[in-house]
Chain A
Amino acid sequence: MKKNATATATPAAALQPKKVGVPLEDKILYTTVNVVMILWLIIVLFPVIFIVASSFSSSTAISTGRVLLWPVEFSTAAYKAVFQYKMVWNGFANTIFYTVVGTIINLIGTTLCAYPLSRRTYQGRAFVTTLFIIPMFIGGGMIPAYLNVRELGLLDNRLVLFIPGLISTSNMIIMRTFFTSSIPADLQEAASLDGCSDIRYLLQIVLPLSKAVMSVLLLYYAVGHWNAYYNALLYLRTASKYPLQLILRTVLISYEGQDVNAGGAQAMKEQAGEAMKYGLIVVTTVPILLVYPFIQKYFEKGVMIGSLKG
């Protein structure tokens, strides 16, 4: 208490030690934190650099396990092998198609839902909100969803990658929150008095004002499509329709586990393919990582808008 009183009595004097220097205890903390952060960076980057270095190494260097963080016996053979792999290019083309079309459809669907819900006086507001919230917590499960898709005749149809995932409720809530919090309701009242219809208001006023949230959701959906394999695994049968991730699964992971403990001999046999795997990992991840620095601030914004409402 006494300490408190003197401190408030002479604030200038109390603040002085701060200017003079950091107390030892704080110094220790700051140093520890910096060390922890450097360790963290190393842990995050180590595997990434290892993969990239391996992809530029010769297959003998890889198979003898000599690559660490720098290419050994520099070689682009892995990339040549990737470029000759027709399946991969087919998958790339499919994924680009699914990502572009899917994202556009997602954005339209999400807007159609978020806009009416953002209007405070909308008649069906509570009902539609409830309708969308309930499936976030309980669902029919994998098999009824599969039977439903089969019944609708969407099995092995490219549409199946667009329609069942049309709207992500969390993204829809992000958009709705943006509409309600960033566009003044007065604007709508004024526009409606001037005879502006609801649809025209959406097209001419709301959408032009919503570039920020649209870019966030565009990126969320696009990354989702690029990385997705679940729906394709469940619903697609023809290999020529497979998205990239499903082909990657076959090439990189699938069933190698069966002979996982067969030992050295087996691994030697795989060495030609082994180098290509690293190349493949790099080639398929680079498109996302290239755009990542430009879009990072949007992602953070999205998380924050989303966190406003549980």
Chain B
Amino acid sequence: MTQVVKQPVPVTPEAPRLGNPTIRRFKRDWQLHLLALIPVAWILIFAYKPMYGAQIAFRYYTIKGGIWNSEWVGLRWFMRFLEMPQFWEIVGNTFFLSLYSMCINFPFPIFMALLLNVMRNQFFKKTVQTISYIPHFISTVVMVAILNQVVNPITGLYGYFYELFGGIGVPRDIRGIPEAFPHLYVWSAVWQNMGWNTIIYLASLSSVSNELHEAAEIDGASRWKRVIHVDLPAILPTVAIMLIMRMGNLLSVGFEKTFLMQNSLNLKTSEVISTYVYKKGLGGTSADQAYGTAVDLLNNIINCAMLLLVNWISKKASQDEVSLF
């Protein structure tokens, strides 16, 4: 039926009609254009306009001069950041926290997904999944509040166990120890997100065909051998993609949690680029805002370059198999 009707369409008198094909397509799609108008206008205003506005990083920004008419100062703000005594501390903190976080938070979910996939008791498996996803839905604010309560030296679990294992008196508050900050930051993220992050790997594990497993089993491979030689290779492409995405954030540490966990005593390890930019940009003068923008921009460019680099390497290494674009 449809074929009979469809056939004449290209040969209707419309086809040879004169006119620009672009305009014809525009007329055909006008309703779609109308629908897309709001999203396109929105992204231009809220994503591209700030990108354009980021040029204040190269200007002596004043409210009066605005983005366009403030004096051009070139790389002055970038130089100021590079020469600042705190520079290495802030960049070092950002880099360390991010790298530490990646080394722990990236492999753990993969490992856990492999183990979950081994489980034979489906009910137990489902229970583990359901419960381990829960912390993911706790907001950052509440998460940090819980952390504060748990590590409280007097009222928290930390104080309880300190006493239990023979500690005398009140232990030092670990929230005030700069060296403890990265550990608290990273391991609380493991607690919160490890379960949730297994989902994507479990999804690709579920697509491993049973025949592969059966064949390996007949060849005498133990379950563990099959984890290593069947399951793991099956999720490697997903792992690679996730890793590339993660590398694009190598020089960025989430603002929300760091900012909430920050206090005057752990600033030495907890001041990262994003929190520094926040303090400069929203607490300071117009010139500080230009400076903060420069710091942020530098950070963004490095991240983007990192992503492209890693993606390029992965593309070469996998013969175009694993790549974002």
Contact = CB atoms under 8 A, between A and B. Distances in A.
Interface string A45-70: 11110110010000000111101100
Nearest to B31: A198
- Main SS of the interface on chain B? helix
A124 B156 contact: no
Interface in B144-197: 144-146, 148-150, 152-157, 159-160, 163, 170, 172-173, 175-176, 191, 195
Nearest to B154: A267
A287 to B, nearest CB: 10
B87 interface: no
Contacts of B53: 140, 144, 147-148
A128 B36 contact: yes
Given A40-B132, A137-B304, A138-B51, A34 B256 contact: no
Nearest to B22: A123
A135 B217 contact: no
B133 interface: yes
Nearest to A108: B38
B156 A65 contact: yes
Contacts of B124: 34, 37
Nearest to B220: A3
A309 B30 CA distance: 27
Interface in B214-265: 217-220, 222-224, 238, 241, 248, 255-256, 260, 262-265
Interface stretch (A73-81, A82-90, A210-218, A288-296): A288-296
Contacts, number: 319
A14 B52 CA distance: 68
Size category of the B interface is 35 or more
Contacts of A115: 32, 35
Contacts of A141: 50, 54, 277, 293, 296-297, 299-300
A279 B22 CA distance: 62
A139 interface: yes
B191 to A, nearest CB: 7
Contact of B145 (A23, A189, A252, A260): A252
Nearest to B291: A143
Given A230-B256, A289-B134, A260 B50 contact: no
22 contacts: A7-B218, A7-B219, A62-B155, A123-B25, A124-B29, A138-B304, A139-B50, A139-B300, A140-B52, A141-B277, A142-B278, A143-B277, A143-B296, A193-B5, A198-B29, A253-B144, A255-B263, A257-B176, A293-B130, A296-B130, A296-B133, A299-B133
Given A115-B32, A148-B46, A227-B137, 4 more contacts: A47-B157, A253-B144, A258-B264, A304-B200
Give 9 nearest A-B pairs by CB, closest first: A257-B263, A140-B50, A227-B139, A141-B296, A113-B39, A144-B53, A143-B281, A252-B145, A144-B50
